[in-house]
Structure 1
């Protein structure tokens, strides 16, 4: 008898990817963790290969698991669409996972949330903040539905979603170094598009610069700037971050293009709705 991919187990499997692990998936879908594990074992028996493996204290999908995850989303979409057409289900239910780089996420994500809740009222919305490379990986795997990010677009599937204004910021008490001394700059560690833009801009204007703080996350950058350790180039959408002020004595930096991608088989018009929300926000800059 041919093996069968159980629909309930496939839903559990995609929840593991969306929630970031067995424990969170169990809580999200109302099952025990042992039941989640049983669903995975059922799928592993059907495909004849391991689907997940330990990764330190966590887990990750095997190559076969990544393949099944992509196929599972297609199967579930077709299954739910068939039930809807037969009058036995509701279309467009579930969770939309939105990925974003950290820059201006505190302004961009609420705007996206409002637009998605209006267009897809039956969906929940969950966010993932990460580097653009990992967001693109998530889109390829199908664990992220739509992402807005800075940096190089991975392929022609990306579309522009507006231009993110950039400005220099410092603590109010910070002063430019005297006597041509290097300007202390606070940045996110490599790879980072805004870091590159900051250092290139200063170099193009003949201003010596020195990286004095490298942080893994944007919060570390803003805290270091707030502490007076140097200046930083930040997204400039809305009021300045608390405790910081814009600098008009440093060279202006043109806006940075935002890219938008959706996963294969994402809900209809997801890219259009998301891009419109981002562009509207950037146009107002309130």
Structure 2
């Protein structure tokens, strides 16, 4: 047929009608008045009709112009709706929760790995107590949670274990054998608190709670103040102002697991779990039997299935 109604001229034509003239239409479209006039002339050439005629200092649409205006609005509406249907929808962010024990050392490299592994997925992190993160999984406020303790639920993926270290103030001295060892611990419920008490009780070392805190900063401040020793998971990085202790029994490492919200796509859980395994496989003193299934060493379906094992 050889004749076409292009979108840009149609948009200029509708703007002339809506704005009441060429100059105002040009301002609204951020075009020159000459460009808008040229667009209208192209439409007149395509239709073979006069669409706009001068009226004093202004202009008005002819009957053919009114007809084209109705059709132009329909064409532009369909054009814009069609393009909009192909606009990528913004992905909902995946909320990854973590306890403070793993956050400072583990989340920065985890975020870097996920930016490479899942570049199109927005990740958001939340730091909280383990019990609150579990509640968040149940209510849908958290999608994934990195928690200390065994992977004793079908939603949990074992990803490794954290070595635990006793820390004290540099000037703190252990009491005599007849005196209880003062401990700085987190409020209950807390896996670290339980592991500290179990480790010393197993060796018949008496203990007393010297201080309790809700957050890691509070535990470290109390230990720094000399109120007792604290058991912490620091991934080998000694907190500022503290010293590691080797005169207390070494507790067993704590397993760490990635818990997933029930309806979260399995592929997202798997990719995050694999990233965590890569980061947590670094300690050289873990026995092979202690390691989680090696990520990326086998096809995706052959490893990292959620665990249903019980116990620490």
Is TM more than 0.5 here? yes
CA contact (8 A) 2:184 2:222 kept: yes
> How many angstroms does 1:250 deviate by?
0.4
Task: Figure out how many residues of one structure are paired with residues of the other and give that number.
Answer: 202
SS at match of 2:138: helix
The answer as to 2:182 corresponding to 1:184 is: yes
Normalised to the residue count of structure 2, the TM-score between the two structures is 0.60
List 4+ stretches of structure 1 deviating above 6 A: none
Which 5+ residue runs of structure 1 have no aligned equivalent?
Answer: 1-85
Correspondence 1:272-283 to 2 at 5 A? 272-283=270-281
> How many angstroms does 1:278 deviate by?
2.1
The answer as to 2:212 corresponding to 1:249 is: no
Q: Distance in 2 between matches of 1:226 and 1:273?
A: 38
The answer as to 2:221 corresponding to 1:220 is: no
Cα-to-partner distance string for 1:264-283 (whole Å, 9 max, x where unaligned): 34355222222222222222
CA contact (8 A) 1:111 1:278 kept: no
> How many angstroms does 1:147 deviate by?
1.0
Q: Distance in 1 between matches of 2:203 and 2:250?
A: 10
CA RMSD of aligned residues (A): 2.4
Aligned to 2:306: none
Aligned to 1:210: 208
Correspondence 1:60-75 to 2 at 5 A? none
Cα-to-partner distance string for 1:174-217 (whole Å, 9 max, x where unaligned): 11112521101000011111101101110110111110101011
Q: Distance in 2 between matches of 1:177 and 1:190?
A: 25
- Counterpart of 1:102 (choices 100, 103, 108) is 100
Normalised to the residue count of structure 1, the TM-score between the two structures is 0.65
Q: Distance in 1 between matches of 2:90 and 2:143?
A: 13
Q: Distance in 2 between matches of 1:182 and 1:101?
A: 29
Which 5+ residue runs of structure 2 have no aligned equivalent?
Answer: 1-83, 285-312
Cα-to-partner distance string for 1:18-75 (whole Å, 9 max, x where unaligned): xxxxxxxxxxxxxxxxxxxxxxxxxxxxxxxxxxxxxxxxxxxxxxxxxxxxxxxxxx
